[in-house]
Amino acid sequence: MSDDFRFTLKATDGNARLGAITMPRGEIRTPAFMPVGTAGTVKAMYLDQVRDLGADIILGNTYHLMLRPGAERVARLGGLHSLIRWPHPILTDSGGFQVMSLAALREIDEKKGVTFKSHIDGSVHHMSPERSIEIQGLLGSDIQMQLDECVRLPAERAEIEKSTEMSLAWAERCREAFGDQPGKAMFGIVQGGDIPDLRIRSARGLAGLDLKGYAVGGLAVGEPQEVMLAMLETTLPELPTAKPRYLMGVGTPDDILKSVARGIDMFDCVMPTRAGRHGLAFTRRGKVNLRNARHAEDLRPLDEESDCPATRDYSRAYLHHLVRSNESLGGMLLTWNNLHYYQQLMQGIRKAIAEGRYDDFVAETQEGWARGDILPV
């Protein structure tokens, strides 16, 4: 593995990009999907399983880990990698999104950062750009995100513009706090809501900082898919082609296909794990709701052609029973299925770009979803 953080662009097909990030803890094949390990665990999965499914990197959450068990404690215990038994790359988000969505009584000051009350016990915490980078360093994160302010859409232009400028100022402070760490990276986060000129302003400002990678944030926060895609089409031409591009919090399999087509390299989303815990399976035939009574006496698996045991070896009748009974095993098996599907999708995406047939792959995948699930027994 490389002693430095490096991104290599290996092939393109239209705007879709095939590449690899190399760093001391391993290689990340791109386009990549990063399972979300919010509090040091990918919910309902062993991390050995997550690795076996094809994940090169997982995501940890700064907000949750700083509250419990605490960043200093994680550092005393040897860092997040050894604590959770994941020796491969970890990306941590800055905590900005969770402060917006979970914390109570949030107060924001451009110079001081964010003061907020924990959603767990009401205790008061402070996070400046410098403290966010310090926390991510204590965790031992390989790819660290700048502290940003995320605005929930729809919002007024004045609010979005203020947030965008603050996030740009914080990016520069995070870069200074991060310093020179050859084997690690800090990514800036493009904000600007759903306003094209603010997106361009943010992207150009971040590009001028010459960071190791760039994320597109502030999407997947309530806007329609067409708005998200339009913002990508506006933003991505302003970012350096030689640096990785990460779309935060996205998304559905269809979101991923369409975002790769516009030049995105990295994704994370709770969707496959959260859906699994609520009885929803992603398959090559589209989504399957195992709560539905049609599965109650169906001894067929979700997909007999799959190489994932959860998908191939367990009957729909049993999965239906587990889900309806609120048994933990139901969520475990469907999460296993869903993460397998997402990683198989990424593998197919990478292969198609390498072969110069990405548009055909997208069409074939969407046709499979459109055909729908197998007929009931």
Q: Which residues are catalytic?
A: 93, 268
Q: What six digits make up the tokens of 181?
A: 């760490």
CA atoms within 13 A on the CB side of 172: 11
Q: Is the CB of residue 46 less than 8 Å from the CB of residue 53?
A: no
Question: In whole angstroms, what is the distance from residue 77 CA to residue 216 CA?
Answer: 33
CA nearest neighbour of 159 among 112, 193, 122, 184 = 193
The one-letter amino acid at 249: G
- Strand ranges inside 180-321, DSSP E: 185-190, 213-216, 245-247, 266-269, 280-283, 286-289
Task: Tell me the CA distances in angstroms from 318 to 56, 188, 223, 278, 300, one per residue in order.
Answer: 31, 45, 37, 15, 10
Distance separating alpha carbons of residues 60 and 33, to the nearest angstrom: 14
Instruction: Report the alpha-carbon distance of residue 10 to residue 2 in Å, rounded.
Output: 17
Q: How far apart are CA 214 and CA 236, in angstroms?
A: 10
d(CA 42, CA 138): 20
235: closest CA among 205, 267, 212, 209? 205
Using alpha carbons only, give the angle 51, 55, 59 rounded to the nearest 5 degrees: 105
Quick one: which of 363, 265, 253, 184 has its CA closest to 11?
265
Sign of CA dihedral 134, 135, 139, 145: negative
Asked if residue 163 lies in contact with residue 151, where contact means CB atoms within 8 angstroms, the answer is yes
